[in-house]
Amino acid sequence: MQALYSQLLIGLINGSFYALLSLGLSLIFGLLNIVNFAHGAFFMLGAFAAPLLLEHLGIGYWGSLLIVPPVLALGGMVLQRIVLRPLQELDHLYGLLATFGFALIVQGLMQIGFGSAGLPYAIPSALQGGQNLGFMLLPNYRGFVILVSLAVCASVYLLVERTRLGALLRAATENAERLSSFGINVPRLVTLSYGLGVGLAALAGLLAAPMLQVRPLMGADLMIVVFAVVVIGGMGSILGSIVTGYSLGVIEGLTRYFYPEASNTILFVLMALVLAVRPNGLFGRREA
């Protein structure tokens, strides 16, 4: 049983990353209509930021948590403004290729700088140790990651569904031209939502830094799984992204316990099944 619980825990952790990443992808997709292939690169940069800030500036985990997501979000907004905005009117393929190219550059540079093996990063001292839940031992940091990601997912949900900014985002997703005719600067909104999505990816990376190995390809490999998650859930709804993210993480964890050989492929198999039965995904509303 112990092993089952710990696989479930890992599933929830992975699910947290899936949810944060697919949430950002959905936000970006809603307004830019592109798949952000650079998402994994921002995740990786978020993870790398933690050990680098510690080593060079002496900034610890908590400081990084405050600094890294906004800074990378800003970087994302610059990328969107300079590279992606001019491509917006063209076939969406170009936006996708541009983000892919950007991801290659970033990954390549990080490989040159830090090798493929990556950097170690310790769990912050306040979160070391664990809680004995009776049926299992819950490492504090893992519990922290799950709580933070749940809180962030809930906040993003509330932001989009309950605030004026969220109403603007939803309206722009539905019909950007119409919204601009109301006196709203839609391009600025698009840049902002790209930044928001990137910030979420950076946060996920930072959360992952003490747990996963911080290496240049960590984001790219994870993103392919997240793409499967997104195809299963559909990018139409915020809640859908969150729910699919967590539940697929758990399903993957269960598979690792019951049939470990399939744990790498289960999500892709599920994706194929969902496509066969419900081509638009479980929560999908509209076609790209």
Partner 1 sequence: MTDRARASSGLEIQGLHAFYGQSHVLRGVDLSVKPGQLVAILGRNGAGKSTLIKSIMGLIKKCSGQIRLGDVDLLGRPADQIARMGLAWVPEDRGIFASLTVAENLRLPPILASDAPDEAALFALFPALHERLNTPGTRLSGGEQQMLALARMLRTGARTLLLDEPTEGLAPLIVAQIGEIIAQLKRSGYTLLLVEQNLQWIAPLADHLYVLEQGRIVDECASEDFEGRLPSLIAHLGL
Partner 2 sequence: MRDKAMKPHIASTRDWRFILFTGLILVLALVPLLGWVYPYFIMQALCFALFASAFNLLIGHAGLASFGHAMFFGTGGYICAHALKVWAVPPHWAVVFALIATLILGLCVGLIAIRRQGIYFSMTTLALAQMLYFVYLQSPFTHGEDGIQGFSRGHLFGLFDLNQTYVLYYLILLLFFLGHVLIARIIHSPFGDVLQAIGQNETRAQSLGYETARFKALAFVLSAGLAGLAGAMKALVTQTASLSDVHWSMSGDVILMVVMGGMTTFLGPILGGFLFAAMLQYLSVLGQWVIVAQGTIFLACVVMFRQGLIGTLARRLRRSL
- Residue ranges binding partner 1 (CB under 8 A): 164, 167-168, 170-171, 173-175, 177-186
Stretch of 12-20, 33-41, 145-153, 184-192 contacting partner 2, by CB under 8 A: 33-41
| Contact (CB, 8 A) for 24 and 229 | no
DSSP 8-state class, residue 214: B
d(Cα 118, Cα 217) in Å, to the nearest integer? 9
Task: Give the type of residue at 284.
Answer: G
Binding to partner 2 by CB under 8 A, coded x per residue (else -) over 209-248, reads -----------x---xx-xx-xx-----------------
251 forms part of the interface with partner 2 (CB under 8 A): no
Angle at 50 between CA 46 and CA 56, to 5 degrees: 125
Q: How far is the CB of 138 from partner 1 (least distance, A)?
A: 38
Instruction: Single out the residue of 43, 22, 32, 91 nearest to residue 235, CA to CA.
Output: 22
Instruction: Single out the residue of 157, 196, 162 nearest to residue 69, CA to CA.
Output: 196
Among 1, 56, 112, 132, interactor with partner 2 by CB under 8 A: 112
Tokens of 272: 């194929």
Q: How far is the CB of 128 from partner 2 (least distance, A)?
A: 33
Q: How far is the CB of 130 from partner 1 (least distance, A)?
A: 43
1 binds, among partner 1, partner 2, none (CB under 5 to 8 A by kind): none
Q: How far is the CB of 76 from partner 1 (least distance, A)?
A: 23
d(Cα 19, Cα 245) in Å, to the nearest integer? 4
Please list every residue from 174 through 203 that binds partner 2, using CB under 8 A.
none
Q: How far is the CB of 265 from partner 2 (least distance, A)?
A: 5
Q: How far is the CB of 186 from partner 1 (least distance, A)?
A: 7
d(Cα 140, Cα 44) in Å, to the nearest integer? 23
Gyration radius (Cα) of the chain, Å: 19
Among 4, 83, 184, 254, interactor with partner 2 by CB under 8 A: 83
Instruction: Specify the residue for token string 């109403």.
Output: 167
78 forms part of the interface with partner 2 (CB under 8 A): no
Instruction: Specify the residue for token string 């890992």.
Output: 10
Torsion region of 234: left, alpha or beta (phi above 0 gives left; psi -120 to 50 gives alpha) = left
72 forms part of the interface with partner 2 (CB under 8 A): no
The partner residues of 137 in beta bridges, in order of sequence, read 132
d(Cα 238, Cα 157) in Å, to the nearest integer? 6
Cβ closer to partner 2: 34 or 53?
Answer: 34
Tokens of 86: 């001019």
Q: How far is the CB of 259 from partner 1 (least distance, A)?
A: 40
Point out which residues bind partner 2 (CB under 8 A): 29, 33-35, 83, 86-87, 90-94, 96-98, 100-109, 111-112, 220, 224-225, 227-228, 230-231, 261, 264-265, 267-269, 271-272, 275-276, 279-280, 287-288
